[in-house]
A = this chain, B = another copy of it.
Amino acid sequence: MRALKENEVASLGDQASRSGTVGKAMSVLDLVANARTPPRFTDILAQSDQPRGTLHRQLSILVDEGLLSLNRDHTYSLGLRLLMFASKAWAENQFRVIAEPHLRALHEATGETVHLGVLRGTEVIYLDKVEGRQAVRMYSQIGNASPAYCTGVGKAALSALPDEELERIAKTIRYRRFTDTTIVTPEALIEEAARIRACGNAFDREEHEPGIRCVAAPIHSTDRSFVAAISVTGPAYRVSEHSIATWASIVRNTASDIMEDMRVRLSPRS
């Protein structure tokens, strides 16, 4: 059994395998989702802390429910029902709906790719994306989770958290150096958040991927229980430091327009 102490904060971010049946089922889904290649029963068993019989039954249930699919070669992949759920989750997400026209406007103004991401634990989940030529696959990015500490959207969102929350999360993160400029300590991250609060923008200066530059600005609900961010991103060869600096205020303004719209449209009784 998974050692899980009294004070189980079990905050999301890592694979939280709670005591409940649903939680266990989700842990199994996570295992399948995070596998490099569709795992076989034994592969999942090795990763999981559950006995054979139990795991097997859980998998069967997930397959029956359409959350997993069992391929002919006995490997498991995520099921189509998840797509159905996600499609509705996305289409009906009020925040996304409200932000959408602003994202389009921001794209018009800058000509570069615009992202909308929300913070979930130590990660940002991309909720929307507006780009010009559809060079990359559509659906790409949306739903993707990236580390918050080394992306423009992520750092902007973190900066909007209350101090204690920020500190707690900064300590929770397991830092990994992606490039020379990646932030790799809680202290540096908290400092960076202070800078972002001061100027209103987060910058990603090739901290996650070399060759990618980005300006972002935070968005939050009035009580900060919900934080998100928008960004403009582009390849370094096309987007100079100067362009980035120029866009900073437009991005900030777009962010506050979105917040204003949220305040109005998500007020008491909408």
Contact = CB atoms under 8 A, between A and B. Distances in A.
Interface of A: 12, 18, 20-23, 25-26, 29, 33, 38, 61-62, 64-67, 71-73, 77-94, 118, 120, 125, 127, 129, 134, 138-140, 142-145, 221, 223, 225, 266, 268-270
Given A82-B85, A134-B134, A138-B139, 18 more contacts: A18-B64, A21-B22, A22-B22, A23-B64, A33-B85, A38-B94, A71-B94, A73-B266, A73-B268, A73-B269, A77-B93, A80-B125, A83-B89, A83-B143, A86-B86, A86-B143, A87-B144, A90-B143
A61 B93 contact: no
A53 to B, nearest CB: 15
A82 B77 contact: no
A181 to B, nearest CB: 27
Nearest to A145: B84
A225 B86 CA distance: 25
A120 B22 contact: no
Contacts of A143: 83-88, 90
Contacts of A85: 29, 33, 78, 82, 86, 143
Contact of A90 (B139, B223, B266, B268): B139
A94 B92 CA distance: 28
Contact of A83 (B62, B67, B125): B125
A39 to B, nearest CB: 11
Contacts of A81: 26, 120
Given A33-B85, A82-B82, A84-B33, A77 B65 contact: no
B80 A120 contact: yes
Contacts of A26: 65, 67, 81
A22 B221 contact: no
Contacts of A145: 84
A162 to B, nearest CB: 17
Given A86-B86, A93-B77, A221 B72 contact: yes
